[in-house]
Amino acid sequence: MESVHSTVFKESETLEGKCQKIQGYDFNKGVNYSQLLKSMVSIGFQASNLGDAIEVVNEMVFFFNGLVGDFQMKLWWKVVVKKREIRSLESTKCKIFLGFTSNLISFGVRDTVSYLVQHRMVEVVVTTAGGIEEDLIKCLAHTYKGDFNLDGAHLRSKGLNRIGNLLVPNDNYCKFEDWIIPIFDQMLEEQKTEVKTTLDPSKVIARLGKEINDESSYLYWVYKNGILVFCPGMIDGSLGDMLYFHSFRNLGLVIDIVQDIRAMNGEAVHANHRKTGMIILGGGLPKHQICNANMMRNGADYAVFINTAQEFDGSDSGAQPDEAVHCDATIAFPLLVAETFAQKCI
């Protein structure tokens, strides 16, 4: 019996001073949302992953432009102690890549993305075709809250489309077609009269941001602030449908994807002495493109992934760095921004 007891209760290796103690937020101290978010790192499970992600993004934000001030100095000393090294601000300036899938622009995360680009807090954006068109469509008509369990055939009979628990009337896409086709006509005429005969997708996106001229649009802000937006899958989704329809009424518009892959990879390769950071919401094309571009410089210095994908199928969507958060990005990303980027504007 003594042998069994000693086997079950094998003497423990001490973790004191080696690992962080698990402890949640004490609401007896009142409701302080900033402190609540800071406490995530010691709560455990996905809360701790979110806490780790907040720390990593705060380091990106601090080094983004060599920031100064009380908040940044506290973070700087934290970084020095944590890393056990002192680095010059110039050698650690960080270029931030933001990637997201289209569904997040369909949802209210669009407003969080718009906030980031409005205040020039990221330098490179990568998304899908839906991430472009949904932003523009929302400037023309509203998206509404529905339910995940609504019957598809019934919705179809009503001229309604379901995106998760969102509802988008068919009329929204008709308005999008009426708005964008004349712009494609203008682009085609410009191609015929100018020396350069092709358009890069990123230049098309910038043009759309200019034409929409709506401050609720993140594309408007990327155009106004000169932030690059790449969309390698531009022909997917409604945007591809519009290009398809346009080709029948006015053939000849040429969009050159090769120039954009050169520019996209160049944003990472030519970061020179700067570090790079990746914040990627969801998986698929945006995640792969950003990771692949940073692979050209032997990897990014910081990475935070927020998604619900799994690793078991070998897809890039589920591949994880240490700072991954398994959580719905509509929940995690606004909280992360509140405790990182938004602190810069307070």
The domain segmentation of the chain, as residue ranges, is 22-345
Rounded to whole angstroms, how far apart are CA atoms 121 and 342?
A: 10
Q: What pLDDT was estimated at residue 12?
A: 81
pLDDT at 279 over 70: yes
DSSP, residue by residue, 205-240? HHHHHHHH--TT-HHHHHHHHT-EEE-TTTTSHHHH
**pLDDT single digits (tens) 174-192:** 999 999 999 999 999 999 8
Q: What pLDDT was estimated at residue 19?
A: 85
pLDDT at 247 over 90: yes
Q: What pLDDT was estimated at residue 271?
A: 86
pLDDT band for position 88 (cuts 50, 70, 90): very low
Q: What is the mean pLDDT of residues 53-76?
A: 65
Beta bridge partners of 306: 281, 325
CATH number of 22-345: 3.40.910.10
Report which of 329, 279, 327, 328 is spatially closest to residue 300, judged by C-alpha positions: 279
* Secondary structure letter of residue 12 according to DSSP: P
**pLDDT single digits (tens) 90-126:** 455 899 999 999 999 999 999 999 999 999 999 999 9
pLDDT at 162 over 70: yes
Beta bridge partners of 255: 199
Name the more confident of 325 and 56.
56
pTM, two decimals, is 0.87
Distances (CA, A) of 329 to 19, 65, 132, 333: 28, 26, 18, 5
